[in-house]
Amino acid sequence: MDLQLSGRVAVVTGASKGIGLATVATLLEEGAAVVAVSRKSSPELDALAGPRLTHAAVDLMDPEGPAAAVERAVEVYGGLDILVNNAGGPPPGVKLPRFAFLTPTDADWLTMFEFNLFAVVRAVRAAIPHLLARGGGSIVNVTTGMVRQPGPMNVDYQAAKAALLNVSKALSEEYAPQGIRVNTVSPGPVRTAWWTEEGGAADILAGHGLRQGQRDGHGGTADDEPVHRTAGRAAGGRRRDRPAGLAALGEHDGLGVRGRRRVPQGHLSVGGRQAGVSSFRTGSALWA
């Protein structure tokens, strides 16, 4: 494909794995220069090394971190055209999913908002002057399908991402006349290491279903096997390595798209003895 990104400069947060890594790869394929932001690199990110890729080792929980990442792009490549705020989910040291409204403490809520909302606000605040200096550009904020269909887990995370959606809509209205397009992408479960690694989200969901079954007198026997299988396949079966739609939102002319929320549909349900995927359909417009 040709998204007309050759010569453009992008910053992608959460870039060492998962959706962020795939976004970096796609932008590089399309000819953009990319500053890949993460606390540390990964073998997969290192494999993309070249003159159009710079890794910025930044902790986005540091209030100065997001601006440092943006300034790195200006320092190395002379400006900024695209900001992809992909980093999010569990803050460093936190395991998700968490179940029930009463589970997260005040400190948990503050940490979740710091990582999933305030870090994005700081990155956007730092990026806007540079985008305006280039005559406009694109901001893509990654939220979650849970902003549309919330459920009784990860309540603090859902709320932070819903707030980010609200901020994104406000930004799109304010800055579209000045040439900056702001869009959100709200994916459901996507098959990444966050789901599939040992002790990851799939294992946590499976364990929750097993404990729930034991509390209900279900016994946690072979009947619980579908919980583990379903949770483990929560983000399976679809391509995850070409987020073309997300990259397309960074296209320079962008076909005038702004204020849009793209939704690759899929959500999790947690109820009774089972925790699994109610539906999972990968939007072809996004993950082409």
Task: Give yes or no: 157 in active site.
Answer: yes
Distance CA 237, CA 246 (A): 20
Task: Determine the Cα–Cα distance for residues 31 and 87; give it in Å rounded to an integer.
Answer: 22
The number of angstroms, rounded, from the C-alpha of 206 to the middle of its chain's C-alpha atoms is 23
C-alpha atoms less than 13 angstroms from C-alpha of 114 in its C-beta half-sphere: 16
Helical (H) or strand (E) element with 82:
strand 82-85
**Which one is catalytic: 157, 175, 195, 280?**
157
107 CB-contact burial (10 Å; exposed 0-12 / middle 13-18 / buried 19+): exposed
Q: How do strand 33-38 and strand 53-57 relate by DSSP bridges?
A: parallel
Q: Which residues are tagged catalytic?
A: 157
